[in-house]
Amino acid sequence: MPRSYISGLFGTSPISPLQQHMAKVQATVTELLPFFKAALAEDWEKAESMQQLIATRENEADALKRELRLKLPHGLFMPVSRRDLLEVLTMQDRIANKAKDIAGLMLGRKMQFPEAMHASLLDFVNRCSDATAQAQTAINELDELVATGFGGNEVDLVESMIHKLDTIESDTDDIQVAVRAILFKMEKELPPVDVMFMYRILDWIGDLADLAQRVGSRLELMLAR
Amino acid sequence: MMEFGITFIILACVFGLFMAWGVGANDVANAMATSVGSKALTIKQAIIIAAVFEFLGAFLAGGQVTATIRKGMIDADLMAGSPELLIYGMLAALLAAGIWLLIASRAGWPVSTTHSIVGAIVGFAAVGLGIEAVQWAKVGTIVMSWVISPVTSGAIAFFLFLSVQKLIFNTDNPLANARRYVPLYIFLVGFIVSLVTLFKGLKHIGLELTTLQSYLVAVVIGAIIMMIGIYFIRQLKFDPAADREYHFTNVEKVFGILMMATACAMAFAHGSNDVANAVGPLAAVVSIVQNDGEVTQRSMMAPWILLLGGIGIVAGLMMYGHKVIATVGQGITELTPSRGFAATLAAATTVVVASGTGLPISTTHTLVGAVLGVGMARGIAAVNMGVVRTIFMSWIVTLPAGAILAIFFFFMFKGIFGG
């Protein structure tokens, strides 16, 4: 096979696989809202099919993660540190895992939230999914960052994106406080074990936004080098 | 005494063509890799550019390095009494380097043509003619240049890429700035290449210019190329929708035009430096035979020798090299025209300056240095350092390999023709 040594010089870029992974993660998270709508309406058949979809998407994300890790041997000279890159990948992956856990637990226990919580709960899920979407927007700028050598306007743009991500995340914190307050008022009338799991689900939904924010912070570290 | 005169010339022509063919078949693809890899050129365009500009580079600017290979590394005065030894040696060096390249390219080892031929000449001279026959100072300079050239091209690439970022990518309107500044880069490409070529003499085609004239001609050539570039940039159709996915898609289209100019420069530079590896020893043999055995440092080289080398390279490219170039395009997926341009122009500039100074350097190594330079500016998503190491290590192996083969063939020729 005729070849040129120079072409071997260019390793496979980890950037577009990282973006593809994030796209898959976001595709997992977006299914949570329809899942919640089905679950809150106690349409468990539909909820189950949604949960299946979430699990499939998460598996696909896992496959992409493994593939990317294999593409990152030591001795690859990159504009970003290998550690930061793997860290971002791990954070992204944990978002998908968390989404799968949330759907799994809710379906497994056929959890029923009190009517009074429904509206804020959906709002909470929606806002957390906004946070992960914003993280994806920022990650999608990585190839432009390489083109500009991590300088100039592009850095400002990404920094403003990360700033917006932080704002969304603090929104989700506020919503979480509000949702917890509603649950707190009613918790004595509800079965204690159910309440315990409701709190856990609320924590996990909040984790989605936290993890999205951590994707953003890692990206910020890449800019700072 | 030159009873085998014609035989020697024919042998030298055959070996020289074989070597030039090898350069065209394998080495040209490396020189064109960054241009084809950035997808700014189609395979067909790349092959046409390579054929035309390799030939022009070899014919117009290949003389200095050829002179170095021909007579720069061996003290010819010591050979005055036995010119036939020099002939055997040069034939041996050609054959050795050609065969070593054949073996290496079959095995897929990244060896340099330049290192092979220099190793072979130093090898036969040191063993066959005696240690004192080698111009060690000159050889030392050449080896130094092998270290300096990748570093220099790396530095140039680094700053070129920084300038591209500063002037174009990191501005409010990258596309407008690309259209404004890219023609200037195109001018730079034409200006540098033609200036260096003019400075180092086109006497062999009957053109002699003063310094001022050279500058003027270089400016004119640069301007003409820039005009052509501006024309093509005007022809470009920009699609704002394409920028949604990757914001610089349209900017890269402008760089595509620049890349064409840079690819020409690179092919020219490669031709000017690497043709010497094939025709240097050939020129040495021809001049000794024509001067009736007199070993002379002064004689001019016949232009037909460079012509022959150019033809050999183009033949190799046409018969085999095009396949290698075609695979290169698929091998490199991460190189955009803006990055490819910075790396290629840096390498071409370094090589063309080295050619003007008569230093035989490795085009491949210079290009690797340039790619690393762009990488240092955080411009390339992934550079495989393992491959870099292999490429640079290979020259340590190539020198003794070329030398040993050359020594073997030297004594073989000595046995056949007597001496």
- Rounded distance between C-alpha atoms, residue A155 and residue B241, angstroms: 22
Average the pLDDT over B346-374 and give the result: 91
Q: Pick the residue with more confidence: B84 or B409? A: B409
User: Who has greater pLDDT, B83 or A102?
Assistant: A102
pTM > 0.90: no
Please answer yes or no on whether A11 and B382 come within 8 Å at the CB atom.
yes
Write out the DSSP string of B83-125.
Answer: HHHHHHHHHHHHHHHHHHHHHHHHHT----HHHHHHHHHHHHI
- With an 8 Å Cβ cutoff, are B387 and A76 in contact? no
Contact B278, B12 (CB under 8 A): no
Sequence-distant (6+) residues with CB within 8 A of B126 are B133, B134, B403
Å between A10 CA and nearest CA of chain B: 5
**Contact yes or no for B157/B347 (Cβ under 8 A):** yes
Q: Which of A5, A16, A20, A161 to mutate to test the interface with B (most CBs of B within 10 A)?
A: A5
Q: How far apart, in Å, are the Cα atoms of B198 and each of A58, A88, A110, B348? A: 63, 53, 83, 16
Q: Shortest CB distance from B170 goes to which of A13, A15, A151?
A: A151
- Nearest-angstrom CA–CA distance, B93 and B403: 8
pLDDT tops 80 at residue A2: no
Beta carbons of B346 and B160 less than 8 angstroms apart: yes
Nearest CA in chain A to B321: A2
CATH superfamily entry for domain A14-224 = Phosphate transport system protein phou homolog 2; domain 2 (1.20.58.220)
Quick one: pLDDT band at residue B67, thresholds 50, 70, 90?
A: confident
Separation between Cα atoms, residue A183 and residue A175, nearest integer Å: 12
Q: Kindly list the domain boundaries of chain A, sorted by start residue.
A: 14-224
- The H or E element containing residue B147 is helix B136-164
Who among B161, B166, B324 is closest to A3 (CB)? B324
Mean pLDDT across B86-113: 87
Q: How many CA atoms lie within 13 A of B150 on its CB side?
A: 14
Measure CB to CB from residue A5 to each of B110, B335, B383 and give the nearest one: B110
Greatest C-alpha distance within chain A: 76
C-beta separation of B381 from A146 below 8 A: yes
pLDDT value of position B1: 46
Per-residue pLDDT tens for B226-265?
Answer: 999 999 999 888 888 888 777 888 999 999 999 999 999 9
| CB-closest option in A5, A14, A153 to B382 | A14
> Any alpha helices (H) in B169-210, and if so which ranges?
174-199
Query: Which residue type occupies B188?
Result: L
B327–A75: do the CB atoms touch at under 8 Å?
A: no
Which residue in chain B is spatially nearest to A77 when comparing CA positions? B383
User: Best mutation site among A7, A74, A84, A146 for testing chain B: the one with the most B CBs within 10 Å?
Assistant: A7
Q: Give residues with Cβ within 8 angstroms of B34, minimum separation 6.
A: A6, B266, B332, B335, B340, B343, B344, B347, B367, B370, B371
Q: Which of B324, B334, B383 is opposite residue A77, by nearest beta carbon? A: B383
B134: DSSP letter: B
**How many Å lie between the alpha carbon of A20 and the closest alpha carbon of chain B?**
13
- Ramachandran region, residue B380 (left: φ > 0; alpha: ψ -120 to 50; beta: rest): beta
Tell me which chain A residues have a C-beta less than 8 angstroms from the C-beta of B368.
6, 9
Separation in Å, CA A56 to CA A45, A52, A91, A92: 17, 6, 19, 16
How many residue contacts between A and B have a Cβ separation below 8 Å? 139
DSSP structural state of residue A116? G
User: How far apart, in whole angstroms, are the C-alpha atoms of residue A2 and residue B321?
Assistant: 8
- Which residues are CB-contacts of B305 (< 8 A; sequence separation ≥ 6)? B66, B279, B282, B283, B286
What is the per-residue pLDDT across B385-414, written as a single tens digit (0 to 9) for each? 888 888 888 878 889 999 999 999 999 988
Query: Which residues does residue B134 pair with via DSSP β-bridges, in sequence order?
Result: B74
- Counting residues of chain B whose pLDDT is more than 90, the rounded percentage is 38
What integer pLDDT is reported at residue B285 of this predicted model? Answer: 87
CB B225 within 8 A of CB B261: yes
Give DSSP secondary structure letters for B344-412.
HHHHHHHHHHHHHHT----HHHHHHHHHHHHHHTT--S-EEHHHHHHHHHHHHHHHHHHHHHHHHHHHH
The A residues from 7 to 36 touching B (CB cutoff 8 Å) are 7-15
Interface test with A, best of B334, B372, B390, B395 (most A CBs within 10 A): B334
C-alpha angle with apex B213: B210 to B217, nearest 5 degrees?
135
A2 → chain B, closest CA residue: B324
Give the mean model confidence (pLDDT) for residues B28-39. Answer: 85
Q: Name every chain A residue with its beta carbon within 8 A of the beta carbon of B382.
A: 10-14, 76-78
Dist. CA B235–CA B382, nearest whole Å: 33
Interface confidence, given as ipTM, is 0.81
Q: Do the Cβ atoms of B301 and B308 come closer than 8 Å?
A: no
Retrieve residue B59's tokens: 């014919």
User: Can you name the residues that pair with B74 across neighbouring β-strands?
Assistant: B134
Average pLDDT over residues B332-341: 85
pLDDT exceeds 70 at position B204? no
∠ Cα A129 A132 A134 (to 5°) = 110
The owner of tokens 């406080």 is A177
The answer to whether B254 touches B167, Cβ cutoff 8 Å, is no
B331 neighbourhood in chain A, CB within 8 Å: 3-4, 7-8, 10
| Subunit contact B381:A9, Cβ cutoff 8 A | no
CB B276 within 8 A of CB B118: no
Instruction: Label residue B198 exposed, middle or buried (CB < 10 Å: 0-12, 13-18, 19+).
Output: buried
Q: Which pLDDT tens digit goes with each residue over A68-81?
A: 988 887 888 888 88
What token pair was written down for B334?
């991460």
- CA–CA distance, B280 with B274 (Å, rounded to integer): 10
List the single best residue of A4, A69, A143, A145 to mutate versus B (max B Cβ within 10 A).
Answer: A4
